[in-house]
Amino acid sequence: MAMRRAAQQAIQALGSSVSQSRRLHATPGSKKIVGVFYKAGEYSEKNPNFVGCVERGLGIGDWLESQGHQYIVTDDKEGPHCELEKHIPDMHVLITTPFHPAYVTAERIKKAKNLQLLLTAGIGSDHIDLKAAADAGLTVAEVTGSNVVSVAEDELMRILILVRNFVPGHQQVIRGEWDVAAISYRSYDLEGKTVGTIGAGRIGKLLLQRLKPFNCNLLYHDRLKMDAELEQQIGAKFEEDLDAMLPKCDVIVINMPLTEKTKGLFNKERIAKCKKGVLIVNNARGAIMDTQAVADACASGHIAGYSGDVWNPQPAPKDHPWRYMPNQAMTPHISGTTIDGQLRYAAGTKDMLDRYFKGEDFPPQNYIVKEGKLASQYQ
């Protein structure tokens, strides 16, 4: 109880028309809300603001129960006999995160007769079959902007780790070795290098702004050209043709959502269009890349370094080729789940639940599916 209260105080400090059976806002009465989060174990006790785990459940349990709602939290989400599966038939709201995604398939949506609302605590709702959700008249929303700073900072870190060849040097220290030449022969300055982001939405723009002081040549490819004043302020050049941009870049950063159009976008042929020795950072989604094509390109040296925190699938199996390919600086999906990010997406989730109970609209930018229509980035 004390842990819940502490988490709630931290959050507070930060401050359908398509289907008759599925409504945009809550129907009267008690609701069953299910949250799927990663398990923290002993680490949940080490920080009272660690709210994004099963043990803390975003810090909203006491609040929900005080209003007469039932709140179930679990990390068990896979297979026909998992804990999540038991609650699908009668749950009204499902909360999940990109960091431990509960895959919401068309089959699961069909079983969920009471389901009205799917909330992503964070950014990125591609773990949901959005077309099936739209067809069923469900509302899908996420906490837009909640962890954009977290991810952009992480991307900048990964760029520097790759450019400076940091990981092999760190591994030397752990092994008790000392071989400066083995590191420095492929360690460079970031200044003067060409960095291109594929996608210049909220995260992409923040990354470009943070790269400006490094005196890089900044390029971006996006479906929309950014405002001319902002473009000039950042010093980034718009590249309409993705394939024409790729060979210009020393570093490529993936900042696009996963959609049917972007799935497998970086296959063997597209990777071949990149400069030999390119460095790639991907904190967007693993399925944007052809898994084996990336592993092969890292092995051949065409990709000189690959870093990211997103995999396909997640969690990554022990035999995933990216675990063992050379020249990689991979981690689990951590970039957007810093403590600061958790507090922001927990507060945003609570706000949307409160609006849902009161029959109020969410902030427009949070909707991914509303009244049968998908947000533009997923179309």
Q: State the catalytic residues.
A: 147, 285, 314, 333
**Burial readout 22-42 (b: 16 or more C-beta within 10 A, e: otherwise):** bbbebeeeebbbbbbbbebee
Integer angstrom CA distances of residue 54 from 7, 73, 124, 141: 13, 6, 20, 21
- CA dihedral (216, 221, 227, 231) in degrees, to 10, reads 10
Give the distance from CA 299 to its chain's centroid.
Answer: 27
3-state class percentages of the chain: helix first, strand second, coil last, to nearest 5: 40, 20, 40
Distance CA 173, CA 167 (A): 10
Distance CA 166, CA 305 (A): 11
Residue 128 phi, psi dihedral angles, 5° rounding: -105, 140
E strand or H helix at 352, and its extent? helix 339-358
Distance CA 218, CA 235 (A): 7
